Amino acid sequence: GESVGLHLPTLSVQEGDNSIINCAYSNSASDYFIWYKQESGKGPQFIIDIRSNMDKRQGQRVTVLLNKTVKHLSLQIAATQPGDSAVYFCAEETDNQGGKLIFGQGTELSVKP
């Protein structure tokens, strides 16, 4: 069935380093992807999104890359800070219905000071 998955369940980085979180999706028809950050006990917080007509999109300290050929998505965080420690999820919009999402398994990012 449809699924969005991640390669790395945990990631530990040193403060100041760059972080890369990966995600694989299975539905080649999906055209909208979102990265969310979730801190313990809280709801997901929007980070950045990208549509399938783009390969790359940049925000403040974050970049999302989309490779439709291999159905792969990545989130890059520059100069990672302790406040970036959280679980990161990629999500895929399904049925072209705004807000109806399939989430990946999540990657827990731990930033060491």
Partner 1 sequence: GAVVSQHPSWVICKSGTSVKIECRSLDFQATTMFWYRQFPKQSLMLMATSNEGSKATYEQGVEKDKFLINHASLTLSTLTVTSAHPEDSSFYICSADTGGFTEAFFGQGTRLTVV
Residues that bind partner 1 (CB under 8 A): 32, 34, 36, 41-46, 49, 89, 97-106
Q: Output 12 or 46, the one with its CB closest to partner 1.
A: 46
**17: its two tokens:** 């380093």
Closest CA to 25 of 62, 69, 82, 57: 69
How far, CA to CA in Å, does 69 sit from each of 24, 59, 73, 81? 11, 23, 11, 32
Q: Output 15 or 24, the one with its CB closest to partner 1.
A: 24
CB of 16 to partner 1, least distance (A): 28
Phi, psi of 16 (to 5 degrees): 95, -20
CB of 63 to partner 1, least distance (A): 17
Q: Output 15 or 110, the one with its CB closest to partner 1.
A: 110
CB of 32 to partner 1, least distance (A): 7
Q: Output 50 or 111, the one with its CB closest to partner 1.
A: 50
**What percent helix, strand, coil does the chain show, rounded to 5?**
5, 55, 45
